[in-house]
């Protein structure tokens, strides 16, 4: 009997914590909306920071976890699912190119993501993805797949199709080019 009461107490406490985190996020969002609505200067700053630059999601996650704890702390018990499509990049030939690597692949090759992460930029014929390890990977010479900006992509999930038989990749961490050999 005492065990059931303790279980209910823990459940209530975790729900209260989750709701308080949600309320804090909502309050911060509303303050931001009020500041942008009433002031053109603030509106331009928000536009520049959110829509014209890459957002450092790893830093935001680190700050959030520092002050509020793990985002998924309630759902730790949920069983992890395996993706249906789990592919790695297959290439015929590779050669260093500028700040990255050029891979020769088959025509119309469907490009899988190297690691899980968030799409942070979509340009004509290129996609930039911030992986869960904080590395930004730029996929060039690629047609966008079925996703949108800021979508989360699982490792091995298709992000697009090469335009011809060449795929260009660059890897950056904290604004510095890093060695591609660690990822291929």
pLDDT tens by residue, 116-148: 899 988 888 999 999 988 899 999 999 988 888
| pLDDT value of residue 105 | 92
- Measured distance CA(110)–CA(160) in Å, rounded: 6
pTM of the model: 0.60
User: How much is the pLDDT for 41?
Assistant: 85
Which pLDDT score is estimated for 70? 66
The CATH class that applies to domain 93-182 reads mainly beta
Instruction: Report how far residue 71's alpha carbon sits from residue 21's, in angstroms, rounded to the nearest whole number.
Output: 9
Parse the chain into domains and list their residue ranges: 2-77, 93-182
pLDDT computed for residue 86 by the predictor: 59
pLDDT-derived band at 162 (thresholds 50, 70, 90) equals: very high
> Look-up: residue for tokens 């950056």?
172
> Distance (Å, rounded) from C-alpha 30 to C-alpha 152?
25
Cβ(111)–Cβ(89) below 8 Å: yes
- pLDDT at res. 142: 93
Is-contact 127 162, C-beta < 8 A? no
- Extract the tokens encoding 86: 């789990």
Q: How confident is the model at residue 78 (pLDDT cuts 50, 70, 90)?
A: very low
Higher pLDDT, 50 or 117: 117
CB 119 within 8 A of CB 149: yes
Q: Which residue matches tokens 């700050």?
A: 63
Instruction: State the chain's mean pLDDT as an integer.
Output: 80
Instruction: Tell me the pLDDT tens digit for each residue of 10-21.
Output: 667 778 888 888
Instruction: Specify the pLDDT at position 132.
Output: 87
The pLDDT confidence band at residue 90, using thresholds 50, 70 and 90, is confident
């Amino acid at each position: 009997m005492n065990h059931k009461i303790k279980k209910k107490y823990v459940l209530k406490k975790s729900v209260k914590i989750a709701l308080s985190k949600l309320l804090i996020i909502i309050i911060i969002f509303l303050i931001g909306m009020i500041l942008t609505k009433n002031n053109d200067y603030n509106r331009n700053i928000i536009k520049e920071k959110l829509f014209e630059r890459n957002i450092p999601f790893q830093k935001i996650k680190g700050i959030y976890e520092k002050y509020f704890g793990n985002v998924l702390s309630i759902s730790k018990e949920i069983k992890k699912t395996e993706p249906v499509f789990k592919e790695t990049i297959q290439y015929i030939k590779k050669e260093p190119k500028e700040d990255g690597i050029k891979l020769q692949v088959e025509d119309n090759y469907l490009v899988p993501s190297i690691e899980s992460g968030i799409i942070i930029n979509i340009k004509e014929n290129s996609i930039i993805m911030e992986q869960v390890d904080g590395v930004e990977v730029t996929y060039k010479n690629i047609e966008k797949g079925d996703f949108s900006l800021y979508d989360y992509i699982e490792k091995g999930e298709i992000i697009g199709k090469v335009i011809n038989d060449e795929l260009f990749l660059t890897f950056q961490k904290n604004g510095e080019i890093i060695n591609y050999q660690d990822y291929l």
